[in-house]
Amino acid sequence: MNREPAWRIFAAEYNNAQHEIKGEEQKTPSYLISPLGAKINRIYIVGVLTDAENISEGGDFIRAHVSDPTGVFTIYSGQYQPETTQALSTIDVPAYVAVVGKTRTYEPEEGEKFISVRPEIIREVTPEIRDRWILETCQQTKTRIEATTEAQKMSIPTVKELKSLGYTQRLSEGIILAKEQYQTIDVNRYTSILQDALDYVIPKKETEEPQPSKNETPHTPKIEPTEQKTDEKQSPEDNNEETEDIVMETIKKIEGENGAAWDLIVEKCKKNGLDEIAIEEALTSLMDKGFIFEPILGTIKTT
């Protein structure tokens, strides 16, 4: 089965997503549509793991929370995710973590929906990786805000019109679905959330200490971003570029006329010593930069 790309999205937007497209067949993916048009099956988040609690008698079902500058993601991991359940049981909180997972919804009654994440991978990471994720998620959120704004200007927005403006097929489809399902989309609210996130990693005054976001829950421990130091050690940016180079070379080696399967790329890169989260991050970054694209779901091709 083809793997869905993992979206970067802030908690404030993710938790506001209320429209779900359920797969009609057993192996057909389901999607959660955010107000800004993210068509999400899988998600990639980085934040502070603030708590992890066993909520079953056997201790094999854990509820955890991961905080970003805009809100909190709820994570549920059970017996069918033994590695992530074990990780959540052993990580000392608070800690910076990266999570790749799938959307999960629970609707106890009509009109009431709870949104969470079912983790596939969870790793402890550095503050620098968290800050980089915030900046990249800001960029992707900005693109969705701009696409939503363009759609609002159109009398009858279409995927074709949005694509003609340079937006991807996936985002264009998501924007149209969001416009159909959400009566009003307050773009200004998400612009404000975006600014809050940017202020978190780029304070307005260097002498000011970063302040907790107004949306941050009172119980969330605050871990200050680490100041960048200039030394001879390899920077996180250098590491990211090296990872992207390895992933790019791997794609070039294995892609045929129709491209290379996402799962095969991940498998080959893992044999070169790369972590799966780093591979996912590099693939998304290379797509954002235009070096690779996805002609069909789960297949990657160089430009």
Confidence of residue 59 (pLDDT cuts 50, 70, 90): low
User: pLDDT by residue (tens digit) across 262-271?
Assistant: 889 988 999 8
The answer on pLDDT for 298 being more than 90 is no
User: pLDDT by residue (tens digit) across 105-160?
Assistant: 988 777 678 999 999 999 999 999 999 999 999 999 999 999 999 999 999 999 99
Q: What is the pLDDT of residue 123?
A: 92
DSSP 175-234: HHHHHHH-S---HHHHHHHHHHHHHHHS-SSTTSPPPPPTTS-TTPPP-PPPPP--SSSP
Confidence of residue 7 (pLDDT cuts 50, 70, 90): very high
**Could you tell me if 261 and 298 are in contact, meaning their C-beta atoms sit under 8 angstroms apart?**
yes
Q: What is the pLDDT of residue 280?
A: 83
Tell me the C-alpha distance between 240 and 281, whole Å.
Answer: 9
**Could you tell me if 199 and 216 are in contact, meaning their C-beta atoms sit under 8 angstroms apart?**
no
Number of helices and strands in the chain (H, E): 9, 12
Q: Whole-prediction pTM value?
A: 0.73
Confidence of residue 237 (pLDDT cuts 50, 70, 90): low
User: pLDDT by residue (tens digit) across 182-225?
Assistant: 978 999 999 999 999 999 888 754 434 444 444 444 343 444 44
